[in-house]
Structure 1
Amino acid sequence: MKKITFISLLWVCFTGCQTKPYEGITIATAANMQFAMQALTKAFKQKFKIDCRVVVGSSGKLTAQIKEGAPYQVLVSADMKYPQTLYKAGLSSAPKTYAWGKLVLWTQKPDLKLHLGTLTQQGIRHLAIANPKTAPYGAAAVAVLKQQGVYDQIKPKLVYGESIAQTNQFIISQTADVGFTAKAVVLSPRLKNKGKWIDIAPTLYPPIAQGIAVILPKGKQHKVEVQRNLENAKAFEKFLFTPAAQHILQQYGYTTRSLVK
C-alpha cells in the first residue's frame, strides 16, 4: 500500500492571540464543501451581517478537534455519522441532513480514458482517494471499488489524501493519474475547467447524506458571548435550509431536500 503523508494545520487557537473576542462564527467544514461554503457564507453574511470563519478538513479530523475543545460553533460534515457522534456525546444539537453528495472520477491527463474499467490497467499507476477512515467520500470510493470487484487488485495503486482537499491536490499535480472526488469540487468556479471527469453511478456507493450540527457552548466563555455564538450558529443552520442556500448547493452538484420526492 502506498501512502503519502504530510503535516497539516487544520485549526488554530483563537484565544490569547487577539485583543477582542471574535464576534462571528467559526464553521468546521468538510473538504468537499470547501467551495460551496465560500458561496454560502458570502450569502449568509449579506443577509444577516454575521462574519464567518471557515476551517476545512476531513469530517473525522474536525470531529476529533471538537471533542478536544476546538472553538467551532458549527460542524458541516460530509456524512451523518460524525455529527451523530457529537450529539450522542452531548456536544452538539441533533444533526440534520442538509444535502446528499455525489462522487466523480477525475483526471488531469487528457489522453487517459476515464472509465471504472480502466483503473486496473498498467497505465494507471496511482489512484487517489481520501482516507476512508476519516473522510466519507473516501469510504464511498472504496465501496465503489469493492462493488466492482477490483478493490484488491487496485489497492496497491491507492494514494490517500487526509481529506478530499489533499486528494484534489494529488489529482491536480498529477501525483496521481486519476482519483475519486466530490462533484462539488469539479463544478466549482476555480476548478470546473481543469481536467475531465465522469459521474459515478449512485447505485455503486451508499448515499452520502451530509449533516450539520450546532456545537453547544462550553468552557469559561462570558454568558453574553455564549448566547451570541449560539444564536449566530443556529441562524446559519436555519439559513442552510432556505431556498437561497439550497439553490447554491444544487449549483455545486448536491441533491437537496427540495429535489427529493
Structure 2
Amino acid sequence: MVKHIQKSIALFFLIVFISGCNKKQDSQITIAVAANMQFAIKEISKVFTEKTGIVCDIIIGSSGKLTAQIKEGAPYDILMSADMKYPENLYNEGFTTNPPKIYAHGKLILWSTTKAINPDIQTLLQPEIKHIAIANPTTAPYGKAAISTLKHQKVYDQIKDKLVYGESIAQTNQFIISGAAQVGFTSASIVHTTQMKNKGSWISIPENTYTPISQGVVIIKKKERSHKTLQFYDFLFSHSSQEILKNFGYIVTQK
C-alpha cells in the first residue's frame, strides 16, 4: 500500500514536471539573429514578451553561420539576417515557409575608441594605424560592405594587410572597444546603445560606397507551424518594433 502511494506521488510529480516543460516550450520561440542586431533585438523581444507573454530565446551569430546551422537542423523558428542573400538562399532551398522580407536597412560606420584618432578613410592610410577591424566578409554582410567601401575609395590595396577579421560584428566590436584594433568598420547600432553612445568617435560611411544592407527575415519551416512564431514575425513590422529599430540607427520604411 505504501509503495503504491509512493509510486502514485512520484507519477504525479513527473506529470507536473513534464507539463511544466511542455508549457515552457509552448510559450517560447527561438530566434537566430545577426550579430549587428544583438542590442536592438533585446529591446524588441522585451516589448514583445511584455505584450504577449511569449519568451524569445535569442541566438546571436553571423548570418552565414546561422544559415549553415539551420541547414544542419538547428531548431530555430526565425532567422533575422543582416542581408537578403542568406534568407533567399534558405527560401530557394525549401527551408522557410515564406519568401524573405526586409525589416530594416543597416548603416555602416567607421568607429574608434582610441583617443586622438579621428575616424576617416584617409586616416586608415596613416602608418600609426596598425589594425583595422572588420567582420568576416565571407559570412558577415557588414564585412562585405566594408570591403566594398575600401575598394570604392581606392584604398583597399594600401591597407589590406592591416585588416583584422572578426567572426561577426559582435567580435569586431570587441576588437574596437578593447583597442586591439585602433579603428574599425561596424554597424551604426553599436554607437546608439546606452553603454557606447558617448564612447570614442565615429563617422557614417556614405551609402553610395557599398551595396545597401537590406536585412531580411524568414520563418523557418517546421513540422508544426507555431502561431507564436507568426505573432513575433508580425510584431517585427509593427510601429513599436520599427521605432526601436530607428532608435538603434537602422533605416526603416514601414509606417
One fold, TM greater than 0.5?
Answer: yes
**CA contact under 8 A between 2:106 and 2:215: conserved in structure 1?**
yes
Does 1:68 find its partner at 2:72? yes
Give the equivalent residue in structure 1 for 2:122. Answer: 117
Superposition pairs of residues 21-32 of structure 1, within 5 angstroms: 21=22, 22-23=25-26, 24-32=28-36
**CA contact under 8 A between 2:113 and 2:199: conserved in structure 1?**
yes
Deviations 1:68-104 (A, max 9, x none): 0001000000000000011011111211001100001
How many residue pairs get matched?
233
Higher helix share: 2
Q: Distance in 1 between matches of 2:70 and 2:236?
A: 21
Q: Secondary structure at the match of 2:38?
A: helix
Give the equivalent residue in structure 2 for 1:7. Answer: none
Give the equivalent residue in structure 2 for 1:222. Answer: none
Q: Which shifted more, 32-41 or 249-258? A: 249-258
Q: 2:211 aligns with which of 194, 206, 209?
A: 206
Q: Percent identity?
A: 53
Does 1:248 find its partner at 2:244? yes
**What is the root-mean-square deviation in Å for CA atoms of aligned residues?**
1.3
Does 1:194 find its partner at 2:190? no
Superposition pairs of residues 54-133 of structure 1, within 5 angstroms: 54-92=58-96, 93-133=98-138
Give the equivalent residue in structure 2 for 1:175. Answer: 180
Amino acid at match of 2:128: G
Unaligned runs of 5+ in 1: 1-17, 219-225
Unaligned runs of 5+ in 2: 1-16
Q: Displacement, 1:113?
A: 2.3
Q: Secondary structure at the match of 1:124?
A: coil
Q: Distance in 2 between matches of 1:214 and 1:191?
A: 32
Does 1:139 find its partner at 2:144? yes
Does 1:152 find its partner at 2:157? yes
**CA contact under 8 A between 2:237 and 2:254: conserved in structure 1?**
no
Q: Displacement, 1:248?
A: 0.4
Structure exhibiting the larger radius of gyration computed from Cα positions: 2
Does 1:36 find its partner at 2:40? yes
Q: Distance in 2 between matches of 1:109 and 1:183?
A: 17
Moved over 4 A (4+): none
**CA contact under 8 A between 2:141 and 2:213: conserved in structure 1?**
yes
Deviations 1:30-85 (A, max 9, x none): 00000000000001111111100100000000000000000100000000000001
Q: Distance in 1 between matches of 2:114 and 2:176?
A: 9
Q: Which shifted more, 126-135 or 101-110? A: 101-110
Q: Distance in 2 between matches of 1:156 and 1:109?
A: 20
Q: Distance in 1 between matches of 2:241 and 2:141?
A: 22
| TM-score (norm: length of structure 2) | 0.89
Q: Distance in 1 between matches of 2:194 and 2:232?
A: 23
